[in-house]
Amino acid sequence: MIRKYITVIFLGLSVLGASSAYAAPIELTAKSAIVMDAQTGKVLYAKDAESQRYPASTTKIMTLIVALEHGNLDDMVTASTNAATTEGSSLWLSPGEQLKLLDMLYGIMLISGNDATVAVAEHISGSVDKFAKLMTEKAHAIGAMNTNFVNSSGLPDPNHVTTAHDLARIAAYGYKNPLFTQIVSTQRKVIPWPGKDHDRELYNENKMLWLFEGGNGVKTGYTDAAGRCLVSAANRNGIQLVAVVLDSDHMWDDSIALLEYGFQQLRPMTMLNQGDILKTVKITEGKKDTVKLVTSNNIVVPVSADDKDQFRTVIEAPNKIEAPITAGQKLGVARVMYKDKEIGTVDLVATDTVERKSFFGMLWGSVWSFFTYVVKNFA
């Protein structure tokens, strides 16, 4: 289908509760820190965010992403002896124990089970080394170019490094997946414990889920080498923020300060309302000549005082289409762009049903067109 691209710049759109006043500068104990809007990638505050540091168990954010994209959630994952004897925080897997991949992922993200990360890595890639390569490749594809993973758990290794900015990019990418969002925002989960007379009851170690309004992720981390680390996140009024603190003396306070600072700088702006008419398309062989295309959903974007004009909408839809057409049928898409980055899409659907002309109707239309042509050119 031939499509035409039309760019529409939206100016002066409604910003809910907008304020031009930014929060005062914040003081943090973290060696590296950042708060970023997940949808646009806009950095709202950063402190030494490009320096490579050890990520500890915040590594598991990428473990989750790769597992979701490469694994089958219903697969039964068997814990090897290598997995079951992994040092550090644990899901208490026994050699030969089997759990569904999805249950393993909850064990990884809620209580930081290092043993589960090894079991998952071996199940998907055959070894932790091969799985770690997938993790690094995915990080680089996301844009986290200063990251290198050598294991799935975050246990110390001189070559296992990332940056605060890279971790924010990775977490922001994760929020594109609804199941990622569901897992990292879960406060309590019960999963099986084969061989026991009771199930495992998992409580999320990330206190931000109840300390901070709108808190919905992501992962804690600690080793002697990395210090206290936290990737946190929150969603308010449709704005998804991600904050990262690495090697922090007071990671909860630092993270709360970052997220509050971020929300003070951003306001939701309605780019498109459900039902907005964005294009009229010509119809061939139909009982009507045109049909209107409308947006199927709302699109709200986060704006700050200095980037309100950086958003635009690109419409992809045919200039004409052949009947029949059904009301609600998808005939195009509108893409919302922030600078050169796509940050959201919405389907464009037909407002009406248009039936195809009958044979005699098409024949009469051809005769009438010929008659009109003759009159116009030879009369």
**248 and 317 part of one domain:** no
- For the cut 80, the answer to whether the pLDDT of residue 360 exceeds it is no
Report strand pairing: 290-295 vs 277-284.
Answer: antiparallel
**176 and 319 part of one domain:** no
**80 and 120 part of one domain:** yes
Domain count, the chain: 2
Q: Is residue 55 part of a domain?
A: yes
Contact at 8 Å (CB) between 205 and 112? yes
Q: Is residue 37 part of a domain?
A: yes
Q: Outline where the chain has alpha helix (H).
A: 60-70, 81-84, 101-111, 114-125, 128-142, 164-174, 178-184, 208-211, 251-265, 359-378
**pLDDT of the residue at 357:** 81
The CATH number covering residue 285 comes to 2.60.410.10
In this structure, what is the dihedral angle of CA atoms 59, 61, 64, 66, given to the nearest 10 degrees? -70
Q: Is residue 69 part of a domain?
A: yes
**209 and 316 part of one domain:** no
User: Would residue 285 be called left, alpha or beta, if left means φ above 0 and alpha means ψ between -120 and 50 degrees?
Assistant: left
**73 and 134 part of one domain:** yes
Residue 306: pLDDT band (50, 70, 90) is confident
- Alpha carbons within 13 angstroms on the beta-carbon side of residue 193 total 12
Residue 190: pLDDT band (50, 70, 90) is very high
Residue 11: pLDDT band (50, 70, 90) is very low
Q: Is residue 39 part of a domain?
A: yes
Last residue of some domain: 231, 265, 299? 265
**176 and 50 part of one domain:** yes
Residue 369: pLDDT band (50, 70, 90) is low
Residue 307: pLDDT band (50, 70, 90) is confident
**225 and 319 part of one domain:** no
For 148, residues 6+ apart whose C-beta sits below 8 A from its C-beta are 136, 159, 160, 161, 162
Annotated active-site positions, please? Answer: 57, 60, 112
Q: H helices then E strands: how many in the chain?
A: 10, 18
**214 and 159 part of one domain:** yes
Last residue of some domain: 246, 265, 284? 265
User: Residues 232-285: pLDDT tens digits?
Assistant: 999 999 999 999 999 999 999 999 999 999 999 999 999 999 999 999 999 998
The CATH number covering residue 175 comes to 3.40.710.10
Supply the range of the domain harboring residue 115. Answer: 32-265
Last residue of some domain: 211, 246, 265? 265
User: Residues 35-94: pLDDT tens digits?
Assistant: 999 999 999 999 999 999 999 999 999 999 999 999 999 999 999 999 999 999 999 999
End-to-end CA, the chain? 38
Smallest Cα–Cα separation from 116: which of 71, 79, 68? 79
Q: Is residue 65 part of a domain?
A: yes
**141 and 86 part of one domain:** yes
The C-alpha atoms of residue 114 and residue 122 are separated, in whole angstroms, by: 13
The C-alpha atoms of residue 101 and residue 49 are separated, in whole angstroms, by: 33
The C-alpha atoms of residue 149 and residue 144 are separated, in whole angstroms, by: 11
Average pLDDT over residues 308-333: 93
**175 and 102 part of one domain:** yes
**222 and 324 part of one domain:** no
Contact at 8 Å (CB) between 167 and 55? yes
**142 and 281 part of one domain:** no
